[in-house]
Amino acid sequence: MSIQEPSNRYSVIREKNPREILLLRGSGCKWRRCTFCDYHLDFSRDEEANFHLNQAELAKVTGCFHRLEVINSGSFCDLDEKTLRLIREVCAEKRIRELHFECHWMHKDAIQAARDFFAEKGICLKIKMGVETFDEEFREKVLQKGIAAASPREIAKYADEVCLLFGLTGQTFTSMKSDIETGLSLFERICINVMVENSTKMKPDRDVIRIFAQNLYPVYIENERVDILMENTEFGVGDKYE
C-alpha cells in the first residue's frame, strides 16, 4: 500500500457479507513491528485533523446493508474518542446493526468495553484480528506479530474474525490449508490477504502464491465465510504500493 494519503477511504462490498467499508485515520498502530506491514504509516498524531477527516468519510455512510466495517491501519483504540462517538451515532442513525473493527492482540483487554459501548445503541461489534497464521513459531519469529503464548482458542475468546496472510516463503499447501481450517472452525469469518509488494523487505513468494491460487482459492472462493484478497485494495479502499 502507498505510504501517501490513500485516495479512497470509502467503499461498498456487495458480494459476501455485504457491507460498507471505511478506512479511517487514527494515531497509528502501537505495535508497528510486523515485518510485512507498511500500512501503519497511514496515521496522524493530530487528533483534530483525524477527526475532521473521519467525519467527512463517515458522512458518506448510507447504512444500505446495515453493516459497516471500519479499518484504520491499526486498532480501533487508535481512533480518537470523538470519532468513536461519531461512529456510534452514525450507526444508530443509519440503522447499522453490525460494526466490524480491527484490533491487535495487545489491545485485547479493551475489547469488552468497546462491545458494551456500542451495545448501548443496539450495535453488535465484531472484532477482526490479524493473526496471519496459527503456526506460532512462524508468526512470532518471522512475522513478529506479537501474539506469543496465545493458542487459537485463546484468540477466539476475544476475536470474532481473523485475517490470514499467505504468499510467504516457508508456507506450504498444508500450512495454508491448516490455517484456513483452524480459522473456520473457531471464528465466524476469515479474511485471507495474499502478500503483495510493499515498502518492507518482506517479498511475496510467487511459488507459494501459485500453490494457493491453484489449489486453495478454488476450494474456498465460494465460501460465504471467507474473504480472499489477492490484492490488498480489493475491498476498494487504500492504494496499491507504487
> Interface with ligand SF4 by CB under 6 A: which residues?
29, 31-32, 34, 37, 39-40, 73-74, 104, 130
Residue 17 vs 72, nearer CB to ligand SF4: 72
Provide, rounded to whole angstroms, the least separation between the CB of residue 121 and ligand SF4. Answer: 27
Q: Beta strands 10-13 and 19-23: pairing type?
A: antiparallel
**Nearby residues of 35 by Cβ (< 8 Å), 6 or more positions away:** 142, 143, 144, 200, 201, 202
Residue 120 vs 137, nearer CB to ligand SF4: 137
Provide, rounded to whole angstroms, the least separation between the CB of residue 102 and ligand SF4. Answer: 7
Residue 90 vs 143, nearer CB to ligand SF4: 143
**Nearby residues of 52 by Cβ (< 8 Å), 6 or more positions away:** none
Residue 20 vs 42, nearer CB to ligand SF4: 42
Which three cell numbers mark 36? 510485512
Which three cell numbers mark 171? 508456507
Provide, rounded to whole angstroms, the least separation between the CB of residue 74 and ligand SF4. Answer: 5
Provide, rounded to whole angstroms, the least separation between the CB of residue 31 and ligand SF4. Answer: 4
Report d(CA 83, CA 58) in Å as an integer.
9
Residue 130 vs 167, nearer CB to ligand SF4: 130
Provide, rounded to whole angstroms, the least separation between the CB of residue 42 and ligand SF4. Answer: 9
Phi then psi for 196, rounded to 5 degrees?
A: -120, 160
Report d(CA 72, CA 68) in Å as an integer.
13
